């Protein structure tokens, strides 16, 4: 695949090729992630946590998401760029949802939007799709509903919630979403959903039976030490790497080692 499109992802699922997805929130990170060969870059509203330092994803605004997304788009050549609609930009009514999605597409140049929820936001998703904007769904642990859940623990362990999840996944496929994120649900349930629909299911904390995986880049690079859920694999300890580089720099400045003869004009 030269440039990844929503169609490429559906083809990948049909051919059994797993889809790789990571978040990015700025130009430099997006450029690295894209060059390394990622299929999908998610401009997640997790920017609220990892970029802005908020406790939850709720405070980030549409304007802020557009700023992050436009930076990411400038850094991405090959990957499909999906942008989260933030809390409060689509829940009121379908018209508001469409207006927000249009702003993202026009002002950031992103390629698709992602919304949290199933049946409750069906009309909004339809309206966005009718405007020609591809939509990725997001079910399971949907962090914009954290105050309803009251906990970040695994979702859909009980039958009632599992059944609603299956229904919602089928609904999202039926109305025309091109893909779907399942967050923090039992692996067996996630696999069952992935096998029952034809659109690709991207998991985070949803096991290996789905069609692709997504992680928050700060987490997988080990930039934050405190966050250690079971589903997270750390590919680096960038927290330690950066801390030691920076303290070395501090030492070098203090000791007058930096800059040396060759590092000046």
Site size with Na ion, rule: CB under 5 A: 3
Provide the sign of the torsion angle of the four alpha carbons 233, 248, 53, 65, taken in this order. negative
Q: Closest Cα partner for 64 from 44, 94, 34? A: 44
Q: Does 181 bind ligand KIV (CB under 6 A)?
A: yes
CB of 215 to ligand KIV, least distance (A): 7
Do 172 and 134 meet the contact criterion of CB atoms below 8 Å apart? no
Decide: helix, strand or coil at residue 51: coil
Q: Which is nearer to ligand KIV, 8 or 48 (CB)?
A: 48
CB closer to ligand KIV, 148 vs 254: 148
End-to-end CA distance of the chain: 47
Q: Is 45 in the site for Na ion (CB under 5 A)?
A: yes
Residue 244 CA to residue 228 CA, distance in Å, equals 21
Stretch that binds ligand KIV, among 38-46, 87-95, 99-107, 193-201 (CB under 6 A): 38-46
Shortest Cβ 142–Na ion spacing (Å)? 8
Catalytic residue among 123, 183, 195, 261: 183
Minimum CB–partner distance for residue 186 and ligand KIV (Å): 17
**Among residue numbers 81 through 140, which ones bind ligand KIV (CB under 6 A)?**
84
Q: Which of residues 65-124 bind Na ion (CB under 5 A)?
A: 84
Residues that bind ligand KIV (rule: CB under 6 A) add up to a total of: 11
Tell me which residue of 54, 122, 63 sits closest to 89, measured CA to CA: 63
**CB-based contacts of 124: which residues, under 8 Å, 6+ apart?**
90, 91, 93, 94, 96, 97, 98, 115
**Cβ atoms < 10 Å from Cβ of 141:** 22
Contact 41, 30 (CB under 8 A): yes
Stretch binding ligand KIV (CB under 6 A), from 25-33, 41-49, 65-73, 148-156: 41-49
Question: Shortest approach of ligand KIV to residue 69 CB, angstroms?
Answer: 12
Phi, psi of 27 (to 5 degrees): -60, -50
Residue span binding Na ion (CB under 5 A) among the ranges 13-21, 37-45, 100-108, 123-131: 37-45
Dist. CA 139–CA 148, nearest whole Å: 14
Q: Please tell me whether residue 262 adopts helix, strand or coil conformation.
A: helix
Minimum distance of ligand KIV from residue 183's CB (angstroms) = 6
261 has catalytic annotation:
no
Q: Which is nearer to ligand KIV, 162 or 181 (CB)?
A: 181
Kindly tell me which of 46 and 89 has the beta carbon lying closer to ligand KIV. Answer: 46
Residues annotated catalytic, as ranges? 183
Residues that bind ligand KIV (CB under 6 A): 23, 42, 44-46, 84, 181, 183, 204, 214, 216
């Amino acid at each position: 695949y030269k440039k990844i499109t929503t169609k490429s992802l559906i083809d990948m699922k049909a051919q059994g090729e797993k889809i790789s997805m990571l978040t990015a929130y700025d130009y430099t990170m997006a450029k690295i992630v894209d060059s390394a060969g990622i299929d999908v870059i998610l401009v997640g509203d997790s920017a609220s946590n990892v970029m802005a330092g908020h406790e939850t994803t709720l405070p980030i605004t549409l304007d802020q998401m557009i700023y992050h997304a436009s930076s990411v788009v400038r850094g991405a050549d090959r990957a499909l760029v999906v942008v989260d609609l933030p809390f409060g930009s689509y829940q009121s009514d379908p018209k508001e949802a469409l207006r927000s999605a249009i702003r993202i597409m026009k002002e950031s140049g992103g390629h698709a939007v992602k919304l949290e929820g199933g049946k409750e936001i069906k009309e909004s998703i339809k309206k966005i799709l009718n405007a020609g904007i591809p939509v990725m769904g997001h079910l399971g642990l949907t962090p914009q509903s954290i105050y309803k859940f009251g906990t970040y623990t695994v979702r859909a362990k009980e039958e009632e919630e599992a059944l609603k999840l299956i229904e919602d996944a089928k609904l999202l496929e039926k109305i025309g979403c091109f893909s779907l994120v399942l967050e923090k649900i039992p692996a067996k349930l996630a696999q069952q959903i992935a096998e029952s629909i034809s659109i690709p299911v991207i998991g985070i904390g949803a096991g290996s039976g789905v069609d692709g995986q997504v992680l928050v880049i700060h987490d997988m690079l080990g930039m934050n030490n405190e966050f250690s859920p079971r589903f997270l694999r750390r590919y680096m300890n960038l927290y330690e790497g950066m801390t030691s580089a920076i303290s070395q720099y501090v030492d070098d400045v203090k000791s007058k080692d930096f800059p040396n003869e060759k590092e000046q004009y």
